[in-house]
Each structure stands twice: as C-alpha cells, then as structure tokens.
Amino acid sequence: MSNTPGSNPAVWEAESQFPELCEKLREAFKEIVDPELGFNIIQLGLVRNVSIQEDQVVIRMILTTPFCPYGPAMLESTRQKAEETLERPSFIDFGMEAWDFSMMEEGLADDWGLY
C-alpha cells in the first residue's frame, strides 16, 4: 500500500444513503483541530467511517498515535459535534488501526514539506 497522502481516504458507509448529512458532518468536524499538528480531523483522515441510523450515529475514529495526549478530548469533541449537528445520540467506535500519511487529504503533507 502506498503511503502517499490521499491514497487511503476514509469512505463513510453513510455517504450513499445520507450524502447531505455527511456533508454537514464533515463541515462540523473541520472545527475539531488536533492541537499538536494544527490540522483538523477531516484533513488528517481520523474519521474513518460514519454510520447513520434514525436513532443514532456511530463514528469510527482513530488517532495519529495511541498515546496522543489530546486523544480523549478530541474523541469526546467529535462525539458532541456529531450529536449537535445531526440531533441524535452519537457514539465513538475507537479504531485501533495505525494512522499514516496515506489517510491525510491529498496535498496536505506538502505543508509539512514531506513530499
């Protein structure tokens, strides 16, 4: 698998059924910034999947490192932002997959001088 930014984008299962809600959620999630990196959770590709039902939202999310000191606060901010935006109970399904640069938005790593 390539480690090139943008080569491993998140695909939300809710996108096919609720594209307008997913767009609202993406915009809302852009307000949640990783304070150490200075990029939002959408730019970093930390929200790996979103499942929307009538009675709940489940967000599959990872962190850039398992020991991120801001991790718990970012996870809770994400849950709250989803609940506020979509007006239904929201839950975080914390994923254990390792984050890498391929999950970032294409072109973002240029800002870091990586590519």
pLDDT at 86 over 70: yes
| Minimum mean pLDDT range among 7-21, 44-58, 80-94, 95-109 | 95-109
Q: Is residue 89 part of a domain?
A: yes
Strand partners, 79: none
Other residues' Cβ atoms within 10 Å of the Cβ of residue 66: 11
**pLDDT score for 107:** 77
**pLDDT score for 111:** 57
Q: 43, 104 in Cβ contact below 8 A? A: yes
* Domain boundaries, position 17: 13-105
Q: Is residue 7 part of a domain?
A: no
**pLDDT score for 115:** 45
Q: Whole-structure pTM over 0.85, yes or no?
A: yes
Q: Is residue 110 part of a domain?
A: no
pLDDT at 82 over 70: yes
* pLDDT single digits (tens) 20-60: 999 999 999 999 999 999 999 999 999 999 999 999 999 99
Q: Is residue 30 part of a domain?
A: yes
Q: Is residue 112 part of a domain?
A: no
Q: Is residue 5 part of a domain?
A: no
What 3-state class would DSSP assign to 82?
helix
Q: What is the CATH number of the domain that holds 32?
A: 3.30.300.130
**Total domains, the chain:** 1
Q: Is residue 3 part of a domain?
A: no
Q: Is residue 8 part of a domain?
A: no
